Amino acid sequence: MLVTGVGLVTPLGNSVDVTWKRLLAGDRVGRVLECSDIDHHQQLSSIEGLRLYGAPVNSAGLRQALVESKLLANFPPDVVHTWLSEPLVAMSLLAYIEAITQARLADTFTSRRWNSGTRTAVVYGSSKGGLRTAERLTELMRSNVAYDQPSTSIATEFDILWQHAFATDSATRAIAVISGATAGVSCPVAACATGLISVLQGAAMIRSGQCDVCIVGSADAGLRASVMASFHRLRVTSRHADPANACRPFDADRDGFLIGEGAGVLILESRRHAESRGVPGIARVVGGQWLSDPTGMTQIDQSGSIVAEVLQRSFRKHDFLPEIISVHGTGTESNDLAEARGIDAALEHNAPDCFGVKGAMGHLLGAAGSVETILTILALRDQTIPGTTNLQNKDPHCKLRLASTSKSWPGLQRAAKLSLGFGGHVACGMFERE
């Protein structure tokens, strides 16, 4: 099936074009977080050794773009306010608008006048749900008035937040309601592999004949005190002195990542459906596999055997040999070694060029898989490979073909995407230029 539209909200920009241009230019957006960037700034500042680094999106521009769009005009003001107030949902909706506009489905999927001839599904994931909303709900519960006084404005706020912005599938349901999807709605939760697995599950739904169109992707708004403090204690976030240079995938001096936020939406269609509308595809989803690594909740098999197996299974099934691989590349020792060894074991004599983008925009956690899949598709579209930002001194134990700057590749046709996540999620997706 085809990818006919994509949408992005990332720390590099609130659109596909801005994100892609800045990535190819080698821009880096990791910085010191200010009070306006993150709640509980003072408490985080008091944690010994924690670097208050991150890669936030342009929230003001995000909300303004949504307010100016016609997407939310037919929904109750209190629901719209709730969606705009929860970053997880707001980022998802802006990326959704861009994707359906590119796919020429905006009139169908914003009018709420459902076209019965189009069977649409949604497979859109998140690794955590609306954390900002969860914190607000906690405050309301602590006040002891939300249920003691059910007629108050506080109780009303509690109910609206609970229904529309708290749950892990809050963005999924918002997209499903706005698009009028009737062929199925699903919210995969697979840590940092969520986005790629969402793409693969949506593709499988189209192949099975369950739907003609599937809206897939993921989002994550993880720049919250709870996440930053937890990852600091896990020692997976960087303590480097320069935030822009903090995340250094596959570099000999790497020491972890910094957290970013974002959303990626892809429109998948059966070829027959896309051609019936006269809409060209950007790329073709060939297929993919995902496996489970039982090493531990936050550990990975550093031998690379699980990564090698998921690659071999994927490539054998489809007789597929990638020219490039978009790696997960967190800048942690265990992840980088597992990926490098796995790729080497699976493709030793056909070593592809590889690239990782987290040095430029941080680790987008639950959004990483979908955002990086879109960037992989753009590499095929534009015949250009992004550089692995911040790679200065490659770790000799990581035998990958990496470059620190972008380069043109005329004739590029096939790409694979790797995603790894806490809990043992290991996934591979395969794509071809259309």
Domain CATH for 409: 3.40.47.10
Which pLDDT score, from 0 to 100, does residue 147 have?
55
Give how many domains the chain has, as a whole number. Answer: 2
DSSP category for residue 34: P
Q: Which two tokens stand for residue 94?
A: 């802006």
Range of weakest confidence among 111-120, 323-332, 383-392, 420-429: 111-120
Confidence at residue 70, expressed as pLDDT on a 0 to 100 scale: 83
Whole-number pLDDT of residue 152 = 59
| Pairwise pLDDT comparison (298 vs 48), residue with the higher score | 48
Whether residues 29 and 87 share a domain: the answer is yes
From 250, 283, 316, the end of a domain falls on: 283
If one compares 148 and 138, the residue with the highest pLDDT of the two is: 138
Residue 149 has pLDDT above 60, yes or no: no
pLDDT higher than 70, residue 117? no
| 213 plus 105 within the same structural domain | yes
Examine the domain organization and report whether 366 and 400 are in the same domain. yes
Boundary residue ending a domain (283, 301, 336):
283
Residue 302 has pLDDT above 90, yes or no: no
Global pTM? 0.95
CA-to-CA distance for 270 and 122, rounded, in angstroms? 14
Q: How far apart are CA 161 and CA 166, in angstroms?
A: 6
What are the angstrom distances between the C-alpha of 289 and each of 68, 197, 260? 40, 9, 26
pLDDT over threshold 80, residue 109: no
pLDDT tier for residue 215 given thresholds of 50, 70 and 90: very high
Same-domain pairing of 252 and 110: yes
**Same domain, yes or no, for 200 and 324?**
no
- Which has the closest alpha carbon to 231: 192, 201, 270? 192
Lowest-pLDDT choice from 101-110, 326-335, 424-433: 101-110
Place of tokens 């490539």: 315
For residues 108-123, give the mean pLDDT: 68
Calculate what percentage of the chain has a pLDDT beyond 90.
78
**pLDDT, tens digit, 9 for 90 and up, residues 338-369:** 999 999 999 988 889 999 999 999 999 999 99
What pLDDT, on a 0 to 100 scale, did the predictor assign at position 145? 56
Q: For the chain, first and last CA: distance in Å? A: 10
List the Cα angle 301/192/294 in 5-degree steps. 30
| Residue 114 pLDDT grade (very low, low, confident, very high; cuts 50, 70, 90) | very low
Please identify, among 242, 260, 283, the residue that sits at the C-terminal boundary of a domain: 283
Range of the domain at 362: 287-433
Element (H, E) at 219: strand 213-220
- For the segment 388-397, the average pLDDT, to the nearest whole number, is 96
Q: Are residues 198 and 181 in the same domain?
A: yes
Residue 148 has pLDDT above 60, yes or no: no
DSSP designation for 289: E
Whose tokens are 């009139």? That residue is 107
Residue 368 sits in the same domain as residue 253: no
Which helix or strand (DSSP H or E) is residue 137 part of? helix 131-142
From residue 361, alpha-carbon distances to 54, 261, 354, 417 in Å are 9, 9, 17, 17
Together in a domain, 294 and 210:
no
Say how far apart CA 66 and CA 312 lie, in whole Å. Answer: 43
Do 204 and 292 belong to one domain? no
For residue 211 the two structure tokens come to: 């739907």
236 has pLDDT over 70 = yes
Query: Do residues 338 and 299 lie in contact, with contact meaning Cβ atoms separated by under 8 Å?
Result: no
pLDDT of residue 113: 47
The Cα-based distances of 194 to 280, 341, 366, 427 in angstroms read 27, 23, 6, 9
